[in-house]
């Protein structure tokens, strides 16, 4: 699980997602507790907004998270143009 993967999932969703929903999108390769703590860490970094939806914690990508995701994508494009 990378920061880019999580931000991409939440960006494509366009809505609040519970940690369990994010975990399912990641393909179930990650322990549920790890996903919960990782999402909280991204929230503390300002990349995600944390909300309560139907008495459950849910996350949504923030403007700062969108900017970070765009940065990751620009780095990939920039690096793909380089010769080995």
| Domain assignment present for 59 | yes
Closest Cα partner for 50 from 8, 17, 4?
17
- The whole domain housing 42 covers 3-77
Alpha-carbon dihedral 57, 63, 68, 71, rounded to 10 degrees = 150
CATH number for the domain that contains residue 64: 1.10.10.10
| Domain assignment present for 84 | no
| Domain assignment present for 82 | no
pLDDT digits (tens, 9 = 90+) for 14-73: 889 999 999 999 886 778 889 999 999 999 999 999 999 889 999 999 999 999 999 988
Quote the CA–CA distance of 19 and 32 in Å, as a whole number: 8
Quote the CA–CA distance of 6 and 17 in Å, as a whole number: 11
Q: Does the model's pTM come out above 0.75?
A: yes
């Amino acid at each position: 699980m990378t920061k880019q993967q999580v931000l991409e999932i939440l960006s494509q969703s366009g809505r609040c997602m519970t940690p369990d929903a994010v975990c399912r999108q990641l393909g179930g390769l990650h322990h549920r507790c790890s996903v919960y703590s990782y999402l909280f860490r991204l929230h503390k970094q300002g990349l995600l907004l944390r909300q309560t939806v139907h008495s459950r914690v849910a996350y949504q990508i923030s403007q700062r998270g969108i900017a970070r995701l765009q940065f990751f994508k620009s780095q990939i494009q920039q690096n793909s143009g380089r010769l080995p």
